[in-house]
Amino acid sequence: MISKNKIKFIRSLEMKKYRDESGCFLAEGNKLVSDIMPYFDCELMIAKPRWTATKGDIRAAELIAAEDGDIEKASLLKTPQDVIAVFRKPKQTLDLPELQNQLSLVLDGIQDPGNLGTIARIADWFGVRTLICSTDTADIYNPKTVQATMGAIARVSVFYTVLPEFLASAGNIPVYGTFLEGKNIYTEQLTPNGLIVMGNEGKGVSRAVEKLINRRLFIPPWPEGADTGESLNVAAATAIACSEFRRRTAYQV
């Protein structure tokens, strides 16, 4: 049986304060835990025997066989599955020279955990391995965000920094952003490397960051000039931008 203290600890990871203090984050669900297990150090895992029986050697500092009701008591999900795991956050360093020759995403004030998780999935799909986030962007280790990444959190590195300072130090790396008055993304020349800035869901890119964007793009509606909604969801816009960058640079269109 899982102790009350362990249940309390697991549930405390819903709050950023305790994630920061412990250096840990929570992941739930059979597929999600299976997908990210090889990439992170596991501090604690509570799993039903029918799940562990299919996994072979499980590397966890503490592995507890869940009894009836244990998962439900500790879970943050409405419909808990067979496993809950507490992983340690990775220690990573943002290396600016490494960004010179790759495509990266810069997230300025993304607030919704679901949007952030979806953007991580999009980045993973299109081979974008680095997300650089403003300090007011949602926490990638929020349990809701971790769930929304669908395992992409294991393959995409996420950093938090003061964006104006970071972009000012980016040197000759192209810095792209999407704006209503930008140039058509489908006809503008794109580079295989660069930083693509995506802004807040309601306010867009902040003024301090906008000043440092040197290539302004626009994702046009179809047909041109059509009466449409005011803007795209930030995750949808990110998917379009990543797809077009990869299409154009991979196939030399």
Please report the pLDDT score of residue 252 as a whole number. Answer: 57
pLDDT recorded at residue 253: 47
Reported as a single tens digit per residue, the pLDDT across 48-87 is 999 999 988 899 999 999 988 999 999 999 999 999 999 9
Q: What is the pLDDT of residue 64?
A: 94
Would you place residue 226 in the very low, low, confident or very high pLDDT band (cuts 50, 70, 90)?
Answer: low
HEC assignment per residue over 71-100: HHHHCCCCCCCCEEEEEECCCCCCCHHHHC
- With bands split at pLDDT 50, 70 and 90, how would you rate the model's confidence at 16? very high
Residue 95's pLDDT is: 86
Q: Give domain 4-88's CATH architecture.
A: 2-Layer Sandwich (3.30)
Average confidence score pLDDT of the chain: 93
Report the C-alpha gap between 42 and 37 in whole angstroms. Answer: 7
177-197 confidence digits (pLDDT tens): 999 899 999 999 999 999 999
pLDDT the model gives residue 115: 96
* Stated pTM of the model: 0.93
Closest CA to 167 of 219, 199, 202, 214: 214
Q: What mean pLDDT do residues 163-181 have?
A: 93
pLDDT of residue 48: 95
In the chain, domain spans: 4-88, 96-251
pLDDT tens across 188-223, in order? Answer: 999 999 999 999 998 999 999 999 999 999 999 887
Vertex 121: Cα angle to 31 and 46 (nearest 5) = 30
Residue 230 has pLDDT above 90, yes or no: no
What class has domain 96-251? alpha beta
Could you count the other beta carbons within 10 Å of the beta carbon of residue 191? Answer: 13
Q: What is the pLDDT of residues 83-112, one digit of tens each?
A: 999 999 999 888 888 899 999 999 999 999
